[in-house]
Amino acid sequence: AKGDGIYVGSETCMECHDEWYESYMKNYHAVKGDPRTPGAHQGCESCHGPGAAHVESEGEEGTILVLNPKSDTPVWEKNRPCLGCHTKGKVALWHGSTHEQRGLACSNCHNPHQEYPKGFSEPTETEVCTQCHKRIKAELLRQSRHPIREGKMKCSDCHNSHGTIADKLVDGQYSNLKCFECHANVRGPYLWEHPPVVEDCLTCHTPHGSPRTSLLKAKMPYLCQRCHSNVGHPSQLQARSSSESGQSVYVALNNRGFYRACLNCHVQIHGSNHPSGKSLMR
């Protein structure tokens, strides 16, 4: 049975699986000097189980633990060797996490037989994640985005796919804190606050890519008018026909509708520390 029996040693595995052995040897898992690695224990058999039965049966199916994502091995069994050692750090909150609940095996994203960073199954982390998150794959081609395409940021800079206490697997205690790590200038707290900044940056921004500048969720000024919808100049319609007004659309729109719209004046949109900054203009 899988997982029982006598160990035969990694060199025995190599006799048939030389390609896998070679790739494994290039991986950190093969480092024997670290007592936590499979290399310091039973090598291949640390993860795949004792191989005597497999050798004796000349590779009969079901005699060894097969971990690749397409195998019939139940997910919990596929994950057992990994979670036997990886119990802390980024993996500490795996149990009950979104990906665990979705029935993902570690081998869906990682392949210790590859030379890729962190044992990924694809050359880059972004390629691993966008295998499933296809909407985000498209969003990364938008005009406004983070420098992910250039490789200067990666998904795990903001997310921990193994589980977090925040929503959306954001690798922080709550999503704003994650944004503030790079955008500490927005953190404040400010004298005059803009409430959505206090509660959730994602009220106005979409992080993976947007057709709008500054990763905004909607076109200005209509984004602002989603809340500032009632009475006074913020709610005025900024789309009056040029023939109606007798002016070009830019002038008809005053300072409020064109270019960066509300931000033409309310530049301190994340908050102001100026005694006269109540309207976020100073």
Partner 1 sequence: AATVRLPSGERVKISPEQVEKLKKQPGIYLIKHPPAGGLRHVILIPLPKELGDGFLLGTPKDVSAALDAVGVTGTDRQRVPGTFSGEIGVTGRITDGEDDSAEAQEYRDLETPVYGDLKVKYEKQDQYFLEVTGKNIGRDDQHYTAAGGRYGKFKIEASYDELTHRFADDAETIYSGNGSDNLSLRGPAQDVPFADRANRLNALSANAKSVDIELERKKVELSAEVSAYDPLNFRVELGREHKDGTRPFFGSFGLDDAVEITEPIDYDTTEVKFIGEYAKKPFYFNLSYYFSLFENNTDTLTWDNPFRATDAVGQPSKGRIDLAPDNHYHNISLAGSYMNLPLKTRISANGAWGWMIQDDDLVPYTTNTALTTPTGDDASDPNSLPEKKTDAEVRTSIYQVLLTSRPLQFMRAKGKFRYFDYDNNSKQIDFPGFVDADDFFTTPDAPGATSIKNLPKSYDKSTATADLGFDLFEKTTLTLGYTYEQTTRTNSEVDKQEDQIFSGAIDSSFFTWADFRVSYQRTQRDISDYDFDVYLEGGEDLQQLPDLRKYTQADMTRDRVQFNATVYPLDPVVVSGSFTYGNDDFDDSPYGLLEDKHYIFTLEADYAASDRLNFHTFYSFEYYKNRQKDFGEVPSAPLVDADWFSRSEDLINTVGAGVQAALIPEKLDLDISYSFSKVDGKLEFFTPAVNTEDFDTVDETRLHILDSKLRYRASKHWTVTLGHVWEKFDYDDYNRDGFTNVPLDSGGASNGAYLMGTLPEDYEVNVVYLRVTYRF
Q: If you write DSSP's letter for every residue of 243-276 in order, what string do you get?
A: HHHTS-HHHHTTTTSSTTGGGGT---TT-B-STT
Q: Are 280 and 267 a contacting pair, CB within 8 Å?
A: yes
Looking at 15, 57, 123, 255, which residue binds partner 1 (CB under 8 A)? 255
Site for partner 1 contains 264 (CB under 8 A): yes
Specify the residue, 58 or 70, whose C-beta has the smaller distance to partner 1: 70
Q: Select from 15-23, 54-62, 154-162, 249-257 the region that touches partner 1 (CB under 8 A).
A: 249-257
18 binds partner 1 (CB under 8 A): no
DSSP string, 166-222: SGGGBSSSSHHHHHHHH-GGG----SB--HHHHH-GGGTB-SS-BSSGGGBSS-TTT
Tokens of 27: 């991986």
Using the rule CB under 8 A, which residue among 120, 180, 207, 215 binds partner 1?
180
Any idea what DSSP says for residue 232?
A: S
99 exposure class (CB count in 10 Å sphere: 0-12, 13-18, 19+): middle
Q: Is 58 in the site for partner 1 (CB under 8 A)?
A: no
User: Which one among 142, 156, 157, 205 touches partner 1, defined by CB under 8 A?
Assistant: 142
List binders of partner 1 among 143-162 (CB under 8 A): 143, 147, 149-150, 152
Identity of the residue, 168 or 226, whose beta carbon is nearer to partner 1 in the bound complex:
226
Which is nearest to 106 in space by CA: 92, 88, 94? Answer: 94
Among 17, 118, 196, 205, binds partner 1 (CB under 8 A): 196
Residue type, 131: Q
Tell which one of 23, 42, 71, 124 touches partner 1 (CB under 8 A).
42
Contact pick of 129, 203, 205, 207 for partner 1 (by CB under 8 A):
203
Which range of residues in 16-24, 60-68, 154-162, 269-277 is near partner 1 by CB under 8 A? 269-277
Work out how close the CB of 25 gets to partner 1 at its nearest, in angstroms, rounded to a whole number: 10
Long-range CB contacts for residues 126-134, cutoff 8 Å, separation at least 24: 126/154, 126/155, 129/155, 129/161
Q: Which of 2, 71, 157, 174 binds partner 1 (CB under 8 A)?
A: 174
Shortest Å distance, C-beta 160 to partner 1: 13
Contact call for residues 2 and 57 (beta carbons, < 8 A): no
Shorter beta-carbon distance to partner 1: residue 118 or 240: 240
Round the CA-based radius of gyration of the chain to a whole number and report it: 27
Contact between 81 and partner 1 by CB under 8 A: the answer reads no
Contact between 199 and partner 1 per CB under 8 A: yes
